Amino acid sequence: MRNEWNLDPTLIHLNHAAVGPWPIRTKKAICAFAEENAKQGSLNYLHWMKVEAELRQNLAALINAPDPDCIALLKNTSEALSIVAYGVDFNAGDNIVISDQEFPSNRIVWDSLNFKEVSLKEVDLNSAETPEDALINACDANTRLLSISSVQYGNGLRIDLRKLGEHCKKNDILFCVDAIQSVGAEQIDVEICHIDFLAADGHKWMLAPEGLALFYCRKALIPTLKLHQFGWHMVSDMGNYNRKTWQAAESARRFECGSPNMLGIHALNASISLLLEVGLQNVEQKIRQKINYLSCELQQLLHIEITTPTDDHRRLGILSFQSKKIASETLFKTLTEQNVFCALRSGAVRLSPHYYTPEQQLNTVIQLITEL
269-322 tens-digit pLDDT: 999 999 999 999 999 999 999 999 999 999 999 899 999 999 999 999 999 999
77-95 tens-digit pLDDT: 999 999 999 999 999 999 9
Contact 30, 267 (CB under 8 A): yes
Q: What is the pTM of this model?
A: 0.96
Give the chain's largest Cα–Cα span. Answer: 72
Low-confidence ranges of the chain (pLDDT < 50): none
Going 84 to 187 to 180 to 254, the CA torsion angle's sign is negative
Contact 134, 128 (CB under 8 A): yes
A 10 A CB-CB count for 67 gives 12
User: Residue 251 corresponds to which amino acid?
Assistant: S
Report pLDDT for 342.
98
The backbone torsions φ and ψ at residue 114, rounded to the nearest 5 degrees and listed phi first, read -65, -20
- Dihedral, 96, 97, 101, 105 alpha carbons, nearest 10: -30
Contact 198, 184 (CB under 8 A): no
Contacts of residue 45, defined as CB under 8 A and 6 or more positions apart, other chains included, come to: none
